[in-house]
Chain A
Amino acid sequence: MKKTAFIAMVAALLLAANAWSAKTTLLHKPAPDFTLKSLEGPNIKLSELRGDVVLINFWASWCGPCRQEMPLLEELNTKYAPMGFTMLGVNVEQDSTAAKSMLAELGISFPILFDDQNSVSESYDVIAMPTTIVVDRDGNVQYVHHGYKPGDEDKYQDAIRSAIRQ
């Protein structure tokens, strides 16, 4: 009897879980435009970068995998910046104190933007932290990746390369 109850509860929960569905993807659609203030001071507008391949990485200082991939993103930036590539790190925190000290510690040189109202995170449907987006020269979303596991940087590199080659 107890077992029946146990299985029933589990089954019910799983049925409920199946009802969950993610939003339609941004893939191959125009990247939502945004203007955000940067760490250096001036605002950065995505549409003004048209003609460049842009990688947008949504991150937070409290997110372990984000911290882990940051230096690898820096490497990718150094490697591809001369080929018409821009890396943008979008910090999603309301309070950016911890983020700033982390950036100083890691020595990140690519532009960091602050989405403290989370409006950009919302329009890019950030369903996991970190989320990585590659936008092609025409301003269309070419690649979307949620989360980070060691080795994922190779996938980012492939996406950047193919966007540059186009």
Chain B
Amino acid sequence: MRTSLILILLAMLGTSGCASVKIEPWVKPYERANLADPIMSFERDPLAASYLQHVFESREGARGAVGGSHGGCGCN
């Protein structure tokens, strides 16, 4: 398990870190009109979303990985 992890890590290092590949952003900042629309956000209203998660968590065995505050559209 540990060895395989190190191998994966080395592989990723080989394909990205050391190679001088330039990755162009395929969605430019000026092309984010739709992504910037609030209907595309994972959490339009954080308080309402966290309340609903609380409803689920107190009645279900599962928990976690429900996302959080991190944005992601890069629409600044």
Which A positions have Cβ atoms within 8 angstroms of B? 1, 4-5, 8, 11-12, 15-16, 18-21, 58, 60, 62-65, 92-95, 115, 118, 121-122, 126-129, 131, 147
Contacts and interface: CB of A to CB of B under 8 A. Distances in A.
B36 interface: yes
A129 B17 contact: no
A4 B3 CA distance: 11
B6 interface: yes
Contact of B17 (A8, A19, A62, A121): A19
Contacts of A19: 16-17, 19-21, 23
Nearest to A11: B9
A60 B30 contact: yes
Interface of B: 1-2, 5-6, 8-9, 12-13, 16-17, 19-23, 25, 28-33, 36-37, 75-76
Given A19-B19, A21-B22, A63 B36 contact: yes
Given A15-B16, A129-B29, A147 B1 contact: no
A146 to B, nearest CB: 9
Nearest to A99: B33
A129 B22 contact: no
Contacts, number: 73
Please indicate which of the listed interface residues A5, A12, A58 has the most CB atoms of chain B within 10 Å of its own CB: A12
A95 B8 CA distance: 44
A8 B8 contact: yes
Given A19-B21, A121-B28, 13 more contacts: A1-B1, A8-B8, A12-B13, A15-B17, A16-B17, A19-B19, A62-B36, A62-B37, A94-B33, A115-B30, A126-B30, A128-B29, A131-B29
B60 to A, nearest CB: 23
A126 B76 CA distance: 13
Given A60-B30, A62-B32, A18 B17 contact: yes
Nearest to A95: B33
A80 to B, nearest CB: 26
B33 A93 contact: yes
Contacts of B33: 60, 62, 93-95
B23 A8 contact: no
Contacts of B30: 58, 60, 92, 115, 118, 121, 126, 129
